[in-house]
Amino acid sequence: MKIQLNTDTNIAGNEALSQQVEAIINDTLDRFSQDITRVEVHLSDENSNEKFGANDKRCLIEVRLANHQPIAVSDQGQILEQSISGAAEKMKNLLDTTLGKLRAR
């Protein structure tokens, strides 16, 4: 399972952030790793660095499944870790449902 991190201009995409994202994604989605070819994580600050606001950190996770269309979820939080964890949990639930339906065919 390949994980690709993308950030907007308001978030510094450094090695520590990349490792944190990979750890959260691997911990949450590891049991689906045989079905996932790639995970793209997009992080953004909706209000930019100049403004502060509640739930302005956004995480969009797009998962590409082998031989299927990509699926995506997003979550917003006050800090990046909160939005990443929230989006990862949403993706775990969506993968449970999606793969369950595909296997039931």
**Can you point out the beta strands (E) in 13-70?**
36-45, 57-65
In this structure, the chain runs to a length of 105
Could you tell me the residue ranges of all domains in the chain?
Answer: 2-104
CATH class of 2-104: alpha beta
Distance, in Å, from the CA atom of 53 to the CA atom of 76, rounded to the nearest integer, reads 11
Distance, in Å, from the CA atom of 90 to the CA atom of 84, rounded to the nearest integer, reads 10
User: Do residues 21 and 28 touch, judged by C-beta distance below 8 A?
Assistant: no
One digit per residue, the tens of pLDDT, for the chain of length 105 reads 899 999 998 888 899 999 999 999 999 999 999 999 999 999 999 876 565 666 789 999 999 998 889 999 999 999 999 999 999 999 999 999 999 888 887
